[in-house]
C-alpha cells in the first residue's frame, strides 16, 4: 500500500483514493470477513474469573444485560474477547462515529437508519433490504452506552420489534447488552432538544427510556482494575467517581498542583474544551522553528468526516509532541503512547517513544456496516470505507472527552474554567496510571467533582456481582498514605 505523500505547508494537499484492503491484498469493496485490528486482544490478556462469568451470562442465556465497571476494569478488552469466542449472531454498535471506528462496529444511527435528531415514530421503518440480517440477528451489543440518549434506546426497541416481525416482545426478542460506565461522559443533547427533552424523559440517559424500564436488565459490574496499581490512588478515584470526597481527600488530590508542569516532557495536557486544547497545540507548534510538513489522508468509499480518527491533513514539525492513536501491530506502542517527532521527509515520519526511535508507517481504519451473508448463514462486516493516515495527532493537549478510553503514564490536568459535565473530572484523572505522575495546573474544587443525581439514583441499591472488590483498594474509613503505593 502506498504511503501518503508529505507536502510543505502552504501547498495544497489533495486526498488520494486507495483500494479497500483485506490483509495485504487489495480487494473490491463489498461483503467480507476480515481481521479487524480493533478486535485484537492485548498481548498480556488474562482471562479472569469475572470475564468468564460475564461471557457465560451473555453466551449461555438470553438475559438483557447492563455491563459496567469503573474506568480501567477492562470493558473494551472483554468485548474483544467476546467477539472472538461467541457463537451468537451479533452486531456491535456505538452512539458516535469515533466510538464505532474504535471498536470496529457501526453507529446506531447508521445501522437502524435513524436521523441525527430526536427520533419520532415515523422515523422508524421496515428495512427491507436488511430483512435477512434482522431475521438472523440474536444479539445487539451497544458500547459506550453512557453516551446513548433515552430516545435512541426506545427507537431501537421499536425498530427491532418491527424488523424482527415480533411486536409483542421487547426488542423483538433480540438479546441486548449495554456496555459502559454511567459515571463517565454523558450523552450530548443538542440545543434544539434542551427545552423539549425534559417533557419526554426524566433524564437524557438510556435508563430513563421506556424500553429500559419495561425490561428486566440484569446488572453485571467488573471490579478488578487493571489501569492503576496503587491502592490509595484507586480508592481516591472511586471516591471522586461516587462524589464522596471530603476536605482531606481534596487536599491530597491538590497536593499534585505543580505550576511548572508545562515544561515536563512526554506529558499530555487534558482540558475540558476543544478551544483550550486547540490553542495550546497551535501555540506550541508555532514555537518550533522547523518547517511544517503536511500529510494528507487517503480516503476511499463512505467515510464521513465526523468519524475521522485524526486530522485529514496532518501537520507535523520536528520537535512536535504526538499521541499515538492506534495499537501497533508489532507492539512497539499502544493507543495513548506519547512520542516526539524527530525526523520528517515527504514520505517518512520518525518518532521517539521512550528511549526508542521508530519509523512510523500509515495505517488504515475501516468503516463497516453489517450485512447477512447467505453462503455462511451468518452476519458479517462489510467494509464501506477506508481512511489511511499516520496513526498520530498533535498532543501537547487533547480534550477530556477525546481521552475517554485512553491510558497515560504521565498526565497534566488543566481544568481551566472548571468542569461542566457529570463525570468529567473523574474521566480525566482516571486516565493516569500513577498518582505520582499526575500533575494539576490549578487546584481542583468541590464544584469540579460532579455527579448527576439521576445517575446516583439509578445505581442506588444495585449490588456489584462480586462480594469483594478485586483491587485491594481501601474503601473503608481507614486512610492509606500515597507513599504506600
Q: Is residue 268 part of a domain?
A: yes
Give me the DSSP letters along 368-411.
EEEEEETTTTEEEEEEEEEEEE-SEEE-SEEEHHHHTT--BSSE
Better-predicted residue by pLDDT, 412 or 4: 412
Q: Can you tell me the distance from the alpha carbon of 332 to that of 329, in angstroms, rounded to the nearest whole number?
A: 8
Q: What is the pLDDT of residue 228?
A: 86
The residue whose grid cell reads 495499537 is: 327
| DSSP-derived secondary structure letter, 19 | -
Q: Is residue 459 part of a domain?
A: no
Which CA distances in Å does 377 have to 111, 133, 164, 372? 19, 10, 17, 7
Whether 179 and 318 share a structural domain = no
What CATH number is attached to the domain comprising 93? 3.40.50.300
Q: Is residue 319 part of a domain?
A: yes
Whether 163 and 263 share a structural domain = no
Whether 144 and 255 share a structural domain = no
Q: Is residue 235 part of a domain?
A: no
Q: Is the pLDDT of residue 275 over 50?
A: yes
Whether 359 and 400 share a structural domain = yes
Three-state secondary-structure class, residue 283: helix
Q: Is residue 280 part of a domain?
A: yes
Out of 189, 222, 255, a domain closes at 222
The pLDDT confidence band at residue 34, using thresholds 50, 70 and 90, is: very low
Q: 201-256: per-residue pLDDT in tens? A: 999 999 999 999 999 999 999 998 888 888 899 999 999 999 999 999 999 999 99
Q: Is residue 438 part of a domain?
A: yes
Whether 300 and 211 share a structural domain = no
Q: 167-194: per-residue pLDDT in tens? A: 999 999 999 999 999 998 888 887 777 7
Taking the CB of residue 416, how many other CB atoms lie within 10 A of it?
15
Which CA distances in Å does 208 have to 200, 201, 241? 10, 6, 21
Q: Is residue 28 part of a domain?
A: no
Q: Is residue 474 part of a domain?
A: no
Whether 113 and 205 share a structural domain = yes
Q: Can you tell me the distance from the alpha carbon of 153 to that of 156, in angstroms, rounded to the nearest whole number?
A: 5
The mean pLDDT value for 452-466 works out to 71
Whether 139 and 45 share a structural domain = yes
CA 433, 327, 79: angle at the middle one, nearest 5? Answer: 80
What percentage of the chain reaches a pLDDT higher than 70?
87
Number of domains in the chain: 2
Whether 55 and 182 share a structural domain = yes
Q: What is the distance between the terminal CA atoms of the chain, rounded to a whole angstrom?
A: 47
Q: What angle do the packed helices 75-85 and 49-59 form, to 10 degrees?
A: 50
Q: Is the pLDDT of residue 471 over 80?
A: no
The pLDDT confidence band at residue 461, using thresholds 50, 70 and 90, is: low
What CATH number is attached to the domain comprising 431? 2.30.30.940
Q: Are the C-beta atoms of residues 218 and 57 closer than 8 Å to each other?
A: yes
Domain around 148 = 41-222
Q: Can you tell me the distance from the alpha carbon of 168 to that of 57, in angstroms, rounded to the nearest whole number?
A: 24
137: exposed, middle or buried (C-beta count within 10 Å: 0-12, 13-18, 19+)?
buried
The pLDDT confidence band at residue 462, using thresholds 50, 70 and 90, is: low
Whether 46 and 158 share a structural domain = yes
Q: Can you tell me the distance from the alpha carbon of 58 to that of 458, in angstroms, rounded to the nearest whole number?
A: 22
Q: 73-129: per-residue pLDDT in tens? A: 999 999 999 999 999 999 999 998 888 888 889 999 999 999 888 888 889 999 998
Which CA distances in Å does 375 have to 38, 137, 158, 380? 25, 16, 29, 11
Q: Is the pLDDT of residue 52 over 80?
A: yes
Q: Are the C-beta atoms of residues 467 and 438 closer than 8 Å to each other?
A: no
Which CA distances in Å does 279 have to 284, 308, 439, 483? 9, 21, 20, 36
Whether 47 and 187 share a structural domain = yes
* pTM for the full predicted model: 0.80
Whether 275 and 332 share a structural domain = yes
Q: What is the pLDDT of residue 221?
A: 94
Q: Is the pLDDT of residue 6 over 80?
A: no
Q: 333-386: per-residue pLDDT in tens? A: 988 899 999 999 998 999 999 899 999 999 999 999 999 888 888 899 899 999
Q: Can you tell me the distance from the alpha carbon of 34 to that of 229, in angstroms, rounded to the nearest whole number?
A: 36
Whether 193 and 159 share a structural domain = yes
Amino acid at each position: 500500500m502506498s504511503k501518503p505523500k508529505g507536502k510543505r505547508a502552504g501547498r495544497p494537499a489533495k486526498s488520494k483514493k486507495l483500494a479497500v484492503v483485506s490483509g495485504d491484498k487489495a480487494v473490491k469493496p463489498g461483503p467480507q470477513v476480515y481481521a479487524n485490528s480493533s478486535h485484537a486482544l492485548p498481548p498480556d490478556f488474562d482471562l479472569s474469573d469475572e470475564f468468564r462469568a460475564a461471557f457465560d451470562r451473555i453466551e449461555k442465556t438470553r438475559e438483557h444485560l447492563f455491563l459496567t465497571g469503573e474506568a480501567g476494569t477492562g470493558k473494551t478488552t472483554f468485548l474483544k474477547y467476546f467477539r472472538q469466542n461467541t457463537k451468537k449472531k451479533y452486531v456491535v454498535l456505538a452512539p458516535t462515529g469515533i466510538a464505532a471506528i474504535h471498536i470496529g462496529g457501526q453507529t446506531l444511527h447508521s445501522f437502524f437508519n435513524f436521523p441525527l435528531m430526536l427520533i419520532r415514530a415515523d422515523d422508524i421503518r421496515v428495512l427491507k433490504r436488511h430483512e435477512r440480517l434482522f431475521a438472523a440477528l440474536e444479539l445487539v451489543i451497544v458500547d459506550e452506552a453512557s453516551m446513548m440518549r433515552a430516545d435512541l434506546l426506545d427507537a431501537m426497541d421499536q425498530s427491532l420489534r418491527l424488523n424482527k416481525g415480533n411486536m409483542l416482545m421487547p426488542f423483538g426478542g433480540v438479546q441486548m447488552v449495554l456496555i459502559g460506565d454511567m459515571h463517565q461522559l454523558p450523552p450530548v443533547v443538542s440545543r434544539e432538544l434542551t427545552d423539549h427533552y425534559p417533557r419526554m424523559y426524566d433524564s437524557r440517559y438510556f435508563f430513563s427510556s421506556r424500553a429500559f424500564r419495561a425490561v428486566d436488565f440484569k446488572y453485571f459490574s467488573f471490579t478488578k482494575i487493571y489501569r492503576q496499581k496503587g491502592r490509595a490512588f484507586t480508592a481516591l478515584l472511586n471516591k471522586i467517581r461516587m462524589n464522596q470526597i471530603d476536605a482531606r481527600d481534596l487536599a491530597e488530590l491538590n497536593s499534585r498542583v505543580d505550576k511548572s508542569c508545562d515544561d515536563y516532557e512526554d506529558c499530555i495536557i487534558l482540558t475540558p474544551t476543544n478551544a483550550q486544547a486547540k490553542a495550546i497545540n497551535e501555540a506550541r507548534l508555532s514555537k518550533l522553528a522547523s518547517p511544517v510538513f503536511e500529510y494528507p489522508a487517503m480516503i476511499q468509499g463512505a467515510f464521513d468526516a465526523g468519524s475521522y480518527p485524526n486530522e485529514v491533513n496532518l501537520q507535523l514539525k520536528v520537535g512536535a509532541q504526538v499521541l499515538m492513536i492506534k495499537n501497533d501491530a508489532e507492539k512497539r506502542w499502544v493507543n495513548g503512547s506519547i512520542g516526539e517527532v524527530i525526523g520528517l521527509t515527504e514520505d517518512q515520519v520518525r518518532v521517539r517513544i521512550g528511549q526508542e526511535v521508530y519509523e512510523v508507517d500509515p495505517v488504515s481504519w475501516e468503516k463497516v456496516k453489517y450485512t447477512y451473508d447467505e453462503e455462511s448463514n451468518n452476519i458479517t462486516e462489510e467494509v464501506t470505507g477506508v481512511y489511511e493516515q499516520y496513526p498520530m495527532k498533535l498532543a501537547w493537549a487533547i480534550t477530556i472527552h477525546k481521552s475517554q478510553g485512553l491510558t497515560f503514564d504521565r498526565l497534566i490536568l488543566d481544568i481551566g474554567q472548571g468542569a461542566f459535565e457529570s463525570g468529567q473530572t473523574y474521566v480525566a484523572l482516571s486516565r493516569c496510571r500513577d498518582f505520582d505522575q499526575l500533575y494539576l495546573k490549578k487546584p481542583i474544587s468541590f464544584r469540579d467533582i460532579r455527579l448527576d443525581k439521576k445517575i446516583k439514583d439509578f445505581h442506588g441499591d444495585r449490588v456489584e456481582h462480586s462480594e469483594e472488590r478485586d483491587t485491594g483498594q481501601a474503601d473503608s474509613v481507614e486512610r492509606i498514605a500515597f507513599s504506600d503505593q
